[in-house]
Structure 1
């Protein structure tokens, strides 16, 4: 596996700047998630690392080698796309074998069979090896697509929202499997998603992108607890952080325009009265949709709460975050 370093990467498509002077390092053996909304530049960055596109400025290094002008094959990376990339006329076994039968590898048949068997077992598709790809469900096809990458031994794995088209249970299962596989292999993963749950549960590091700029990079817990901006704070956390006028609960630090409160930063049972607009029972927790001085906010409470719509609950902020008018974080003394 290998470290990936991006230095001053800029990419334009006509008048649109998709990436603007992006620099980051994906450590060897790390699971780095690029997080952001549609149009943030996530997939473009992945394509530049893979060699499918070339940057207008900056350089890409993999394993200490400058590969900015190298072809995808020369970069020795394996990529998994959002849509299934399978040969429909081949069986699952043949699809998995295909990357290993490259003339450049010259692997003996028994080694190919062993690798295919190991990956099929990990992805729970051993019983489908002799099925045609067209006979598989969507979840099974995506497992085979992931398997086509895993059978190789590349410098890094690049994944572009590989779980987004799967049902909720399969997504949850494969999140666990991919993280386990990455950990066991010591593999370098660069993974694109807009799903914050994937970022929080799988990533060792998260890169938050906003309109082509990297706004924050670090462990997911650090970004969650110490965001540099409203945009970074809003990328992680479910329910999302509440962004409200800075003085809604009283005096605010100089320059503050907004107060940010995650659900757990809203203390209940003390403070000022708020009105319960809606109660959302989710099994392991209950979300309260509150109205406070004509502003809506969401917090969480005990799963077995007796609160209902129309009730009054007293609230106050605890360790809030403050942001200026531009959305930048204001750190309190």
Structure 2
């Protein structure tokens, strides 16, 4: 696949010197579903707005199909945006909302072509039967699909999605995640989405761009980011992760042991932590679901066994989360145990008691303390 969008050393600096985006480089392949992910203020929405043409970069270059569009106005870019609030006209019908951009401005088309485009777009999102309704007569999910249809009617090369599901309730949001992914596969055009919801990004994206303080922290597939995070920041942001602080007590064969003031855990050395030495401050990242319970008398020779004091527990249906304390400094440790039987919850250690748990070194990552 060829690269359709290229950002080269792109920055956006506002009055007063605030760097919303700080020298990012990013290539997006044609037909990809890419997500810009990060907390508020990380620069993801500013990046999206620069691609759409609503913001001008302070420096750097943006190209589409090899052509420089850095200074091109929005109407000259084959890019359309689905906004967070959908921006539908409440007094117009669904049909007229979808047709609006085709009847006005630089894209003004003939009546027959407008009708053809609108019918096709509404068919794609399954709303042909709602053409005469107004937005106020539709559900949240239907309004979201109208906004999608309006953008698709203009036949963009790239579709930008600005927090498109944030206004929906949890169940509808999950349903629309599947629908959007299926629509992307059906259309084959490039989708670029902005969200702060890491679960949404993991479900929908071919690749995820994790942003932090205006910079790109890591780019990769959902599996890469979850299993091989480049930093403690990414490990913590993508899914739940225990970040436990200690000192390196032993090194060897790409692994390190980290002493948490009494409890010692073993994990893989992250690529960025290859220079760690014994005695250095380190952070070990451990996913809550990668921890196993060890019952009295049970042998776990292939695993690292440790003790932790259970402080609380939370029933989630499919699993039970334990809040525990580990090490001499009593650091917080979350443990997710799969509920494999109804009796399992009753067999868990009482709150306040010390229990034994186990993990494999391959399931934990060790970072240098200053590489977060």
With the length of structure 1 as denominator, give the TM-score of the two structures: 0.90
Does the aligned pair in 2 maintain the 1:62–1:155 contact within 8 Å?
A: no
Does the aligned pair in 2 maintain the 1:230–1:327 contact within 8 Å?
A: yes
Which residue number corresponds to residue 243 of structure 1? Answer: 243
1:297 aligns to 2:333 (yes or no):
yes
SS in 2 for 1:283: coil
- State how far apart, in whole Å, the 2-side matches of 1:146 and 1:322 are: 43
1:265 aligns to 2:290 (yes or no):
yes
Q: Count residues in correspondence.
A: 326
SS in 1 for 2:182: helix
Which residue number corresponds to residue 150 of structure 1? Answer: 152
Gaps of 5+ in 2: 247-258, 267-275, 295-299
Larger mean CA deviation between 141-150 and 86-95 belongs to 141-150
Does the aligned pair in 2 maintain the 1:193–1:199 contact within 8 Å?
A: yes
Which residue number corresponds to residue 321 of structure 2? Answer: 287
Larger mean CA deviation between 30-39 and 2-11 belongs to 2-11
SS in 2 for 1:274: strand
Question: 1:7-56 CA deviation, whole Å, 9 max, x = no partner?
Answer: 00011112211011100101111111001000000100000011101001
Does the aligned pair in 1 maintain the 2:308–2:325 contact within 8 Å?
A: yes
- State how far apart, in whole Å, the 1-side matches of 2:331 and 2:367 are: 17
- State how far apart, in whole Å, the 2-side matches of 1:283 and 1:123 are: 34
- State how far apart, in whole Å, the 1-side matches of 2:155 and 2:139 are: 27
Does the aligned pair in 2 maintain the 1:2–1:29 contact within 8 Å?
A: no
- Return the offset for 1:116: 3.0
1:4 aligns to 2:5 (yes or no):
yes
Say which of 4, 13, 32 aligns to 1:30.
32
- State how far apart, in whole Å, the 2-side matches of 1:322 and 1:138 are: 43
Which residue number corresponds to residue 194 of structure 1? Answer: 196
Which residue number corresponds to residue 64 of structure 2? Answer: 62
Which residue number corresponds to residue 331 of structure 1? Answer: none
- Return the offset for 1:314: 1.1
- State how far apart, in whole Å, the 2-side matches of 1:324 and 1:236 are: 19
Structure-2 change in CA distance of 1:288 and 1:121 (3 Å): farther
- State how far apart, in whole Å, the 2-side matches of 1:130 and 1:169 are: 27
- State how far apart, in whole Å, the 2-side matches of 1:229 and 1:170 are: 33
- State how far apart, in whole Å, the 2-side matches of 1:187 and 1:313 are: 52
The answer to which structure, 1 or 2, has the higher relative contact order (CA under 8 A, 6+ apart) is 1
- Return the offset for 1:108: 5.5
- Return the offset for 1:203: 0.7
- State how far apart, in whole Å, the 1-side matches of 2:184 and 2:3 are: 13
SS in 1 for 2:167: coil
Structure-2 change in CA distance of 1:119 and 1:174 (3 Å): farther
Structure-2 change in CA distance of 1:129 and 1:266 (3 Å): same
Does the aligned pair in 1 maintain the 2:101–2:107 contact within 8 Å?
A: no
1:325 aligns to 2:350 (yes or no):
no
Which residue number corresponds to residue 313 of structure 1? Answer: 355
Structure-2 change in CA distance of 1:281 and 1:127 (3 Å): farther
Gaps of 5+ in 1: 329-333
- Return the offset for 1:104: 5.3
Does the aligned pair in 2 maintain the 1:266–1:317 contact within 8 Å?
A: yes
Structure-2 change in CA distance of 1:302 and 1:267 (3 Å): closer
- State how far apart, in whole Å, the 1-side matches of 2:195 and 2:318 are: 26
- State how far apart, in whole Å, the 2-side matches of 1:6 and 1:234 are: 27
- State how far apart, in whole Å, the 2-side matches of 1:71 and 1:2 are: 21
- State how far apart, in whole Å, the 1-side matches of 2:78 and 2:158 are: 8
Greater radius of gyration (CA): 2
Alignment of 1:118-267 (within 5 A): 118-237=120-239, 240-246=240-246, 247-248=259-260, 249-250=263-264, 254=277, 255-267=280-292
